[in-house]
Amino acid sequence: MTHSATKLALNIKLWGKELGFADVGITNTDLSEHETAYFDWIDNGYHGEMAYMERHGTKRTRPTELEPSTLSIISVRLNYLDLSATSAIDQLHNDQHAYISRYALGKDYHKLLRKRLQALANYIAQEVPNFQYRAFTDSAPVLERPIAQKAGLGFTGKNSLIIHPRAGSWFFLGELYTNLTLPMDTPANKQGCGPCTACIQECPTQAIIGNGVIDARRCISYLTIEFKGSIAQELRPLMGNRIYGCDDCQLVCPWNKFTQDTTEPAFKANSHAKLSLDNAPLLSLWQWDEAQFLTRLEGSPIRRIGYAQWTRNLAIAIGNSQHLPLNSTISELQHKLGKLNELVDEHILWAVQQLKIRSKTALSPLESRKQIQSTKNKHSIHHPFIAPKYYLPVKCL
Non-local CB neighbours of 365 within 8 Å, separated by 6+ positions: none
What's the rounded Cα separation, in Å, for the pair 346 and 341? 9
What's the rounded Cα separation, in Å, for the pair 77 and 58? 24
What's the rounded Cα separation, in Å, for the pair 282 and 287? 9
Half-sphere exposure of 97 (CA within 13 A, CB side): 17
Non-local CB neighbours of 184 within 8 Å, separated by 6+ positions: 26, 27, 28, 72, 150, 151
What's the rounded Cα separation, in Å, for the pair 131 and 323? 59
Non-local CB neighbours of 122 within 8 Å, separated by 6+ positions: none
What's the rounded Cα separation, in Å, for the pair 316 and 58? 37
Active site residue 261: no
Query: Which residues, in sequence order, are bridge partners of residue 171?
Result: 79
- Nearest to residue 318, comparing CAs of 271, 278, 355? 355
Read off the amino acid at residue 207: A
Non-local CB neighbours of 30 within 8 Å, separated by 6+ positions: none
What's the rounded Cα separation, in Å, for the pair 213 and 211? 6
Selected catalytic residue, list 30, 43, 95, 138: 138
Query: Which residues, in sequence order, are bridge partners of residue 128?
Result: none
Q: What does 153-193 look like in DSSP terms, one character per residue?
A: S-EEPTTSSEEBTTTBS-EEEEEEEES---PPPPP--S---
What's the rounded Cα separation, in Å, for the pair 98 and 324? 12
What's the rounded Cα separation, in Å, for the pair 216 and 276? 29
Non-local CB neighbours of 233 within 8 Å, separated by 6+ positions: 350
Q: Give the catalytic positions in this structure.
A: 138
